[in-house]
Copies of this chain bind each other. A is one copy, B any other.
Amino acid sequence: MATDYKTLAGQEFDRGAFESLLRRKVFLWQSFEPYGATKGLFDYGPPLETLEAEVINIWRDHFIRAEKMMSLKCSMLTPYQVLKTSGHVDKFADFMCKDPKTGEILRSDHLIKDVIEERLKGDRIARGENVSDEPEDPKKKKKSKAAKTAVKLDDAQVKEYEHLLATLDDQTGDDMGAIIKKHDIRNPSNGNEVEPPVAVNLMFQTQIGASGKEPAFLRPETAQGQFLSFQKLVEFSDGQLPFASASIGYSFRNELSPRSGLLRVREFLMAEVEHFVDPESGKKHPKFASVKDVKLPLLSRDVQQAGGSTPVEVTIGEAVATKLVDNETLGYFLVRIMLFMQKIGVDQKKLRFRQHMANEMAHYAADCWDCELLSSYGWIECVGCADRSAYDLSVHMKATGQPLHIREPLKEPKRVEEYVAQLDKKKSGPKFKKDAGKVQQALDDLTQDIKEKLSISLEKDGKVEVEVPELGKVELEKDLVAIQKEVRTETMREFIPNVIEPSFGIGRILYSLMEHAYWTREGDAARSVMSFKPTVAPIKVLVVPLQKDTRFASSLAELEQRLDDESISFRVDQSGVSIGKRYSRNDELGIPFGVTIDYQSLEDNSYTLRDRDSTKQVRASLDQILEAISKMVKGKESWSDVQKHLPAFEGKEEDKE
């Protein structure tokens, strides 16, 4: 997939040249460079930091404001107990193998994959096949050169290895341990045997305060804070479901060996929505009708199981009607996600929705679709849209005893008949003393079936036996307990909402967006362009006085003041090189519009306005130019609109070089 990847102009994508541009224009770099850089941590320079801010503002407007979501900011530092309950302490882990001689830590699945792939490659070389060295990961390439040897394997072995690679994602730690032993898999960099796989939790641990009594983690997702704020959401919304919270914040994963640049990092910005619905509502969405005719590229579970990878274009109305997408709410969010991607300028031909396979989902999840974006690394999950059911609220409610549920009046009171087992307080108190509560709790916890059986036994035998936690079996005589059917009227309904969760990885989206925006001018690979949409471009306007001449000073000052008055960001390039060159090097920053001040400007107060993508220009008065820019950076007009009402300027950029 990666090798087929094309730029938006249909050119071969040259990742080396692209990464060189990112470095040169300080979009990003590994953090702490002077100290040797730290893997999996990145700093953003001015272009990327500002791009992120613009994307986040659009996200806020598109989701929080337009959908009236309740925005939350929750703490990153999270007490141990919260993440114990959520399951992260026990399950949020990768397996690693230690090289006991060097102390090196290797991710078990990476280790197996690297070694087996090398052997298969060696086999192909021995068989005289052409082995291309896809440079998927520069580090891997280096290693492979050192380790690769042409050793022919027998056909059964090749088959076993290929099967092993295909099923690697499904293996447990013990499975991987057996594979490592059976196939004598060793540390490829030195041939050392490695220790069996051990689960290593991926959370960063620390402690709050100095007492040592408050172990804590940096959160691995923003979701838990939102669940624990559930009662606040109920208060703010008067408890009217459906409602949604949204949170934009950082999460952390202590990756054992980070790869793939911005796509797998240790500290990352997420934007997560928790949309709470009444499970009895059929997960309908009030605004579904407004989106039902929008077409989405959907790659279903069934197609994937049959080995396919081509999405089907289908309206979300049809997809929900045929149950391809489980429910309206999930469907509504898929559409909103796609519209968001359009707004920020993602190439729509490089976007698809892929349904999770059954074994990819958490056991409690009902359905899950990923919005994937195509980059030179292949299709990458950038947004997960999962139905988390009532899992999280349920476990936290159970662990804390706090009411993380909705109580609402029933439309009609409900008559409920059920067995109730009740200790006689006067007699049980003296007998059980402080344990009386435990006994009553054990009675309350019995199912209706058992209560019914016990009521019959009690009638028949005059006593029953009940298992009480901490106390063991307790015998209750007839005078101590009553078990009988009672009738009561319920007026309130209590239930735990289900949650649909669209979860955005902002760093991955930004990386994909940068790849999508990158291309080079025809005939000149050195003239590269970042075609960011005017609405997200980090800097909106490039101002270029024709040359260094003090006569331009007052026009320049006026133009700067006018742009400032409109809060439009701009850069002035007064360096001595030609205008063409100045435009060209600022195209790499993705500045969508350029304004030239020339000698005619001094005479008639007219300026040329240049469009980055087409390099076409118009010429008009300062007021007209500013109005056009202002509308375009707000997304209210496009360049072709502007071309229609402002006269073209014929002077070519090349002429000025």
Please list the residues of chain A having a beta carbon within 8 angstroms of any beta carbon in chain B.
24-26, 29, 31-35, 38-46, 48-50, 52-53, 57, 60-61, 64-66, 68, 70-79, 81-82, 96, 103-105, 200, 204-211, 213-214, 218, 225, 228-229, 231-232, 235-236, 238, 250, 252, 254-257, 266-267, 396, 400, 402, 404, 564, 567, 569, 571, 575
Contacts and interface: CB of A to CB of B under 8 A. Distances in A.
A190 to B, nearest CB: 16
A53 B57 CA distance: 9
Contacts of A105: 209-211
Nearest to A104: B211
B266 A82 contact: no
Contacts of A564: 66
Given A103-B211, A105-B210, A567-B61, A38 B267 contact: no
Contacts of A26: 232, 235-236
B205 A75 contact: no
A40 B210 CA distance: 13
Contacts of A74: 31, 43
Indicate the member of A35, A82, A104, A266 with the most B CB atoms within 10 Å: A35
A575 B237 CA distance: 12
Indicate the member of A200, A211, A564, A571 with the most B CB atoms within 10 Å: A211
Nearest to A53: B60
Given A34-B400, A267-B77, A71 B43 contact: no
A29 B232 CA distance: 9
A64 B218 CA distance: 29
19 contacts: A29-B229, A31-B75, A33-B231, A33-B402, A34-B228, A34-B402, A35-B81, A42-B75, A44-B72, A45-B232, A49-B72, A53-B71, A77-B204, A77-B267, A104-B211, A204-B206, A208-B266, A209-B256, A210-B256
Contacts of A214: 38
A72 B43 contact: yes
A192 to B, nearest CB: 15
A283 B103 CA distance: 51
A48 B105 CA distance: 43
Contacts of A267: 75-77
A70 B96 contact: no
* Nearest 10 pairs of A and B residues by beta carbon: A34-B402, A44-B73, A31-B75, A34-B400, A49-B71, A41-B75, A46-B70, A26-B232, A204-B206, A206-B206
A213 B39 CA distance: 13
A250 B252 contact: no
Given A49-B71, A65-B569, A35 B206 contact: no
Indicate the member of A31, A79, A218 with the most B CB atoms within 10 Å: A31
A211 B207 CA distance: 19
Given A45-B72, A72-B49, A232-B45, A79 B32 contact: yes
A38 B45 CA distance: 34
A46 B75 contact: no
A40 B214 CA distance: 13
Contact of A71 (B46, B64, B205): B46
Contacts of A75: 31-32, 38, 41-43, 267
B45 A82 contact: no
A192 B77 CA distance: 32
A287 to B, nearest CB: 12
Contacts of A46: 70-72, 236
A107 to B, nearest CB: 9
Nearest to A237: B46
A653 to B, nearest CB: 22
Given A45-B70, A75-B38, A77-B204, A31 B225 contact: yes
A211 B214 CA distance: 24
A498 to B, nearest CB: 19
Contacts of A208: 38, 40-41, 204, 254, 266
Contacts of A40: 208
Indicate the member of A57, A81, A252, A254 with the most B CB atoms within 10 Å: A254
Contact of A77 (B35, B41, B231): B41
A396 B75 CA distance: 31
Nearest to A25: B236
Given A35-B79, A43-B73, 12 more contacts: A24-B235, A26-B235, A31-B225, A35-B81, A35-B82, A35-B228, A44-B72, A53-B60, A77-B204, A77-B266, A204-B208, A206-B218
A609 B612 CA distance: 43
Given A49-B72, A103-B211, A250-B250, A404 B32 contact: no
A232 B266 CA distance: 22
Indicate the member of A40, A41, A60, A75 with the most B CB atoms within 10 Å: A75
Contacts of A404: 34
A59 to B, nearest CB: 11
Given A49-B73, A70-B45, A200 B205 contact: no
Contacts of A57: 57
Contacts of A41: 75, 77, 208
Contacts of A211: 103-105
Contacts of A25: 236
A449 B26 CA distance: 43
Indicate the member of A34, A71, A205 with the most B CB atoms within 10 Å: A34
